[in-house]
Amino acid sequence: MKATYRVLTPQDLDNGEITSQTFALEVLTGLSENPKRLQSKYFYDDEGSRLFQQIMALPEYYLTRCERDILTQRRQDIAGHIAAQPFLLVELGAGDGQKTRILIDHFLHRRLSFTYVPVDISEGAMQTLTTTLSREFPQLDADGVVAEYFDGLKWLSAQTDHRKLVLFLGSNIGNFNRPQAKHFLRSLWNSLNDGDIVLIGFDLKKDIDLMLKAYNDSRGITAAFNFNLLKRINRELGGDFDIGKFRFYASYDVFSGAIESYLVSLEAQTVPIKSIGQSFRFKPWEPIHMEYSYKFLPSDIEELAQETGYTILQHLTDPQGYFSDSIWRVNKT
Ligand SMILES: C[S@@+](CC[C@H](N)C(=O)[O-])C[C@H]1O[C@@H](n2cnc3c(N)ncnc32)[C@H](O)[C@@H]1O
């Protein structure tokens, strides 16, 4: 068996392919808004995916460490929810699949019958993932899909004959605000069958300084990760951002419960973007909103599950109570 992947094409989808026109359109919309914003899903070109791997290895980035511990300690519980029949192990926003390997290894040892279906917007990340999986687990059946989450969900709805365990790790859910998270979870519910299982990683609310440090690392990797999106606009859309004229800033909003990341213009400047055919004016100290990373209380997780059609089976938490992998069952009866 072999780990492979494919890029969803316009023939696979009604309208959703990831094109540079879509990227240009969303940059145009975001930089025309007040306050200006860019969408964090565009962080992950090849360089962005590499930088994110470095972020996950930072001592301050407790999220990866906590989730790795949970998956290692509780892999038997997780397998127990799905082991009885053959299934698809679907992972939305799989990245380098580092933590998922813990489950894959365990499932293979238990001789469970499954196919791994990683879904990610980044073709670079998918290429690396499928290559390393083929090497590490030659017996694994893996069939990746390069697609945006919602296009991935459309694809998923067509796989009606299989039971599914869907992973959404790394607190990717935290990039959505509450209405968007509900929209996403209900769309996921629509694409699944009664009894399917989802496992979602939530970063829990905790000491504010600890959370802030994870997004303000001393080596400046998170800053480089944010700047890379401006570089990507320069590379792919003919932009003329001068990185030296911006600074990275992250803060915690105690009302919304989100770490928010910004690039702040250090002076008045005008930035042309060729393929958009427009220039964007910045005032001194004007921010571009780059990313939300919402944090959760256990009660928030329970509300989200109830409001979108799932029954909670288990909350798996690390000993410090920093992170929760919550296992839900799709409820359609
Ligand atoms: C924060 S990383 C987490 C990776 C992995 N889940 C983990 O926990 O280590 C987010 C991953 O999701 C992918 N991603 C982000 N937004 C996406 C979107 N809208 N659709 C599909 N993939 C997306 C990125 O390419 C990246 O690999």
Kindly tell me if the per-residue pLDDT of 12 is higher than 70: no
Question: 142-156: per-residue pLDDT in tens?
Answer: 999 999 998 998 888
Q: How many domains does the structure of the chain reveal?
A: 1
Which atom of ligand 1 approaches the CA of 95 most closely?
27
Q: What is the pTM of this model?
A: 0.94
pLDDT surpassing 90 at residue 297: yes
The answer to whether residue 221 sits within a structural domain is: no
Q: What is the CA radius of gyration of the chain?
A: 20
In a domain, residue 273? The reply is no
Say whether pLDDT at 62 is over 50: yes
Q: Is residue 230 part of a domain?
A: no
Tell me what the mean pLDDT of segment 287-306 comes to: 98
Percent of the chain topping pLDDT 70: 96
**Residue range(s) defining the domain that contains residue 175:** 3-12+50-207+297-330
Is 22 within a domain? Answer: no
Report CA(250)–ligand 1 centroid distance (Å). Answer: 20
Q: How far is CA 313 from CA 187, 204, 289, 307, in A?
A: 20, 18, 36, 15
Domain contains 127: yes
Summarised one tens digit per residue, pLDDT across range 14-39 is 444 457 889 999 999 999 999 999 99
Q: Report the separation in Å between the CA atom of 127 and the middle of ligand 1, taken as the mean of its atom positions.
A: 14
Give nearest CA residue, ligand 1 atom 2. Answer: 95
Q: Which residues line ligand 1 (CB under 6 A)?
A: 41, 44, 49, 52, 93-95, 98-99, 120-122, 125, 148-149, 169-170, 172
* Cα–Cα–Cα angle for 291, 293, 297, rounded to 5 degrees: 160
Q: How far is the CA of 57 from the centre of ligand 1 (A)?
A: 16
Per-residue pLDDT reduced to its tens digit, 67-96:
999 999 999 999 999 988 999 999 999 999
* Residue 9: per-residue pLDDT: 62
Residue 280 lies in a domain: no
CATH of the domain at 117: 3.40.50.150
Nearest CA to ligand 1 atom 17: 41
Residue 33 lies in a domain: no
**Sheet containing strand 287-294, strands side by side:** 36-37, 287-294, 258-265, 246-253
Rounded to the nearest angstrom, the distance between the alpha carbon of 120 and the centre of ligand 1 is 6
Question: How far, in Å, from the CA of 155 to the mean position of ligand 1?
Answer: 17
pLDDT digits (tens, 9 = 90+) for 103-142: 999 999 999 999 999 999 999 999 999 999 999 999 999 9
Residue 144 falls within a domain, yes or no? yes
